[in-house]
Structure 1
């Protein structure tokens, strides 16, 4: 976390406050689309931004209490000063700001579309993996209500979710399916399986429950 903290600047408090003050005013869900968008903008993970927003809400320091008092009843001033921060940091013209600068992507990749598998993202594959552990192979078909519901949530056809579930069946060592599959889904699904498929199902379920907020 120390490395992440080094990327934080006090000017960013205004951007966090601006999101906090957006209606409905208050602490936003960690993986809501607004939180993720700000995280990607600042190249800081949603969990880090969430902690900052939590500190802001609680007035964790005299500085934060003073900052809240200064802006809470003056949205115009907050909007203007937040815009100034973005302009100074180059966020209003990101391509120019990062021109020639190598940005180390971390969590951002999870929310980016997978090449040749659009519009699927690693986050969507995580949600499908969570569903995988809730179904039996015979129910991993497009007509299953849970498959249809998840497809609607992530904005794809149910058959696409079924295709991902089929890939996970190939990767599942407990099924021991000796099949050969050629699909662009294989490598990204393999990466998600390596991250979560052999770990705690309960932890995966908890993460998936939070990630669903991104599509709400």
Structure 2
């Protein structure tokens, strides 16, 4: 398995802590704890999940020693993780690439589109799945499915409706007038173009995975 260039063996402590987070075990790459740690380290969630698998299998003698040292000593683990996070440069590995855009695709997907709002490309993707489930006249804040979506994503129903209205402008059947260019409109258009020509199950499967990040936080 190729290791990400920003990985350091010090991060194994974080993998132990992540693995032991209730319920203990290997976490999905789409779960909030994995994604949040990935954003912190600038390392893809899939890599962190693979490291959890290696830890669970005690794949090397050093991992076995790590497990023996920390698995039954949560206080020591918490202390050493705290010390690690206080180290100069922690989570700033991409500083070594100063002047280069090192934003990874997964980071782009989970970060706010701009400073003016909290909507992310992941949220836009999930709302797109709702768009294809509703009739146009039900894309209003009073619709239960809209309210459920807002609750899941931590948004107001009106914010979900605003995104649904943006998608209406891309729908060739509706022939709505296009909206002015803006970071939100442009990102929504990219999401629309990514999935509108795919088989419906592609979007459905993707959204079911992405929803893992929000479950338990609604």
Question: What TM-score, normalized to structure 1?
Answer: 0.84
CA RMSD of aligned residues (A): 2.7
- Aligned ranges 1:7-26 → 2 under 5 Å: 7-26=6-25
> Counterpart of 1:82?
81
Q: Structure 1 residue 177 and structure 2 residue 178: aligned?
A: no
CA distance in 1, matches of 2:149, 2:13: 35
CA distance 1:8–1:200, shift in 2 (3 Å): farther
Q: Structure 1 residue 36 and structure 2 residue 35: aligned?
A: yes
CA distance 1:16–1:116, shift in 2 (3 Å): closer
Q: Is the 8 A contact 1:129 1:197 kept in 2?
A: no
CA distance in 1, matches of 2:201, 2:59: 32
**Unaligned stretches of 5+ residues in structure 2:** none
Q: Structure 1 residue 101 and structure 2 residue 98: aligned?
A: yes
Q: Which moved more, 1:164-173 or 1:111-120?
A: 111-120
Runs of 4+ deviating beyond 6 Å? none
CA distance 1:167–1:47, shift in 2 (3 Å): same
Question: Hey, which of these two has a bigger chunk of helix by percent?
Answer: 1
- Aligned ranges 1:123-134 → 2 under 5 Å: 123-134=122-133
**Unaligned stretches of 5+ residues in structure 1:** none
Q: How many residues align?
A: 212
- Aligned ranges 1:123-202 → 2 under 5 Å: 123-173=122-172, 175=173, 177-182=175-180, 184=182, 185-202=184-201
Question: What TM-score, normalized to structure 2?
Answer: 0.83
Q: Is the 8 A contact 1:133 1:201 kept in 2?
A: no
CA distance in 2, matches of 1:69, 1:154: 39
Give the CA deviation at 1:139: 2.7
CA distance in 2, matches of 1:116, 1:139: 30
